[in-house]
Structures are given as structure tokens and as C-alpha cells.
A and B are shown apart, each in its own frame.
Chain A
Amino acid sequence: MIRVQSLNRTFKVGDEAVHALRELNLDIDSGEYIAIMGPSGSGKSTLLNVLGLLDRPDSGKYLLDGIDTVTLPEDNRAAVRRTHIGFVFQSFHLIPRLTAAENIALPMMLAGTDPGLRRKRVQAILESLGLEDRAHHRPDQLSGGQRQRVAIARATVMKPTLLLADEPTGNLDIHSGEEVMTTLEALNKGGITLLVVTHDPDIAARARRHIHMVDGAVVEDRKT
């Protein structure tokens, strides 16, 4: 599903060039559950951004579902993001003035989906997450775990094939973190490919494949 070959990404920090990704190769099959670990600055977030089409590599190949994404024009990349990829962020990134239901419906609204269909899908996803009674609450009226689960609902409402989560439990207590991980894993069981970037070994241990990065390269790739 994902085929990455000799990916390079360099940032300029002052006069110095920092190699966030260095000749990185990676293959990911559909439905995998992967934890990406590594110290700060090892390039794991950059990898996630490149895989999520938010960032463009300087060189290398990245095929997503057979689409060569590196040469794709920006607007087409946005379209691929919309249909193929869901993001879950550490800081949730919910829009504060919209209710939970409106936040979940946002990707469909941007895509121009019919309002009737939007309501139906939001309703279904709220029910599956047990958040029906929170539908009309704004983010500041939700707990951290609920916020992240609303964010997950938003990330999956377009039925993407790839779900990218950057430290999804980083801002949560253990109990809420557990809740969020269970939600993500349930989605993975449903067939979605799940990539989680994390510092937390307990969270990482739940995945079926572990990728360890140092200095922009994969130093360990282990399946359990």
C-alpha cells in the first residue's frame, strides 16, 4: 500500500543543513498497525508529515495506493489527503467555535458532501464512539479523551485507508489514553492502516510492527 524508496528531506536551520530523513526505505501493507519510535529530532514526525502528504521530500519515491505522490501538483495532493489519509494530532486541533458534530463533519463540508449524507455519517460515527450525547458540545465542554475521540471521528469520517497519529495520547492521562488507543485499534481491526508516532513504550508495545528511527534513518524494523 505504501512504498517509500530512498527518501531524503533536509531542513536548513541557520547555516546548518539538518537531515530529517536520510535515504529512507519503507514498505507498508494495507491494514498494518505500526508504532514509530525514536528520540526527539530523529525524523519520525517528518516521516509522518511526508507520508501524510503535508510535506514534500527533497528526493526519493513515495507511492501511496499506487499513486506517485512526489510529482503530484499541490491541489491533487490535497485531494489525496482528503480521500486517503486521516490525521490525529497530539493537540487535537478541533475548531473551538464548532460543536463536536460540526467538527466531525468538517472534512465532508470541505469536500462539498450533501448535508443529509453528512448528518447521517456523523450520527453513525458518534454512535459507534458512544459520543451521541456530546454531539452539540463545543470542544471546551469536552474532556481531553472525548476531544481526541472527536478528532479521531473527524479523521475517519471520509473513510480513509491510512490513519496517521502523532503522539495521540501525549496530552492525555492514562485512562483517557487507553480509551483513545482502544478506539484507534478498533478502527485498525476494521481494516484501516494505522501509524502511531509515540515516545511511550507502553503505547508502542501494543502495535504489531515497531519501527525505530535515529537520525533520519530506520535502525530497527520488527514485527511481533
Chain B
Amino acid sequence: MAGHSSVLTDGGRLSQIDRGLYRVERFMALLSGIAVFSLMVLAVVSVGGRNLFNAPLPGYVDWIQQLMPLIAFMGVSFTQRDGGHIRMDILVGRLKGRALWGAEFITTAFMLVLIVLLIWGSWAHFERSFDFTRPLWSRDSSIDIALPLWPAKLLAPVAFSVLALRLVLQLWGYARAFAQNLAEPVAVPLVRSAAELAAEEAELVSGGKE
């Protein structure tokens, strides 16, 4: 339950919104993966340029620092959707039914409070680096080739806002499960039986060439 859990779907409105948001989250995660891939390309260009043409990539380090927030933040909500952020589940794992949904609702609500505050804080961090009246709108720049830092800083509140939407959706899901005393609610990460998940897992692994 700690890592990979699955999310049920149905034809209802909550599930539709869940799947819609999931598409956005998956796309953002792919962007993050592509950014990792481009770290690799940057290194090839940097090493090749230096050794073949004596022309190192200017600002190699600055570009890496610009890429890192893309890599680090863009998958945060995607990971939360499937319950992928780790936790100790010794206590929560023993709960069932309303007690479980109530506990999940409370921890998720605390996460939402944190994330809303961090949207405020990280937006302020972005705002300090941004100034419409200056060249490239920049009030803060990188050390070597003076790249504006605001686009990378903006990624934190953007990714956190998507995460906040996800948390609101999960709160809705848990509240609904609690109110209706559901056994298998949609749109929230669930613990499912080992057999069901094993079948899914086998499918996933057969997708990769071994």
C-alpha cells in the first residue's frame, strides 16, 4: 500500500474529473522525464563540444540548474494520484471503512493546507525574481551566463497548484466514501487484493523487454 496503489474509475462526475486531471498529470510527468533525457543530451553536447571543437557549452551548469525544477516538481501530482509518495502505513493499514476514509481525509487535509501555504511561499519566491519593467523581466539571474531565474521558480507554484487540485479531488473522494460508507470508492488510491494487483503487475512488466 505504501507505494503503488490503484485508483478505481466509474462513469460518475468525480471519476471523470479524476481521469481528466490524470491526463494533465501524466503529460507533466512526461515533460519531467524529457527534461531528464535532455540532461543527457546536454552532457553529450558539452563533452563533444569541448573535446572535438574546443568549444564547451556556455553556461552548462546554469542550464542544468534551470532544468532541475522541471525534473523535480512536474511529477509531484502524478505521484500523489496513485498514492506514490511514501509513508508509514503500520497504523493506517489496519483501518477499514469509515475509520480509514476519515483518517485519509484528515491527513490529506493537512497536506492541502501545507501545499496551499507553499503555493503562497513559492509564488512569493517567484515574484521576487520577476519584474515586468526589467530586461527579460528578470530580477534574479544565474551565476555564469545570467539566465533569468523566474521561469524555473514559477514551476514550483504551478506544480503545487495542480497538486492542490488533486488533493481537493481526493478530499472529495474520501468525504464521499465516508458519507456513503463505500467499500471501494473511485478517484482515491486504494489497497486492493494481492491477486488483482499481481495480474496488473504482470501486464506492466510484460510491456518492458526483459
The finding on whether chains A and B are genuine partners in a shared complex, rather than unrelated, reads: no
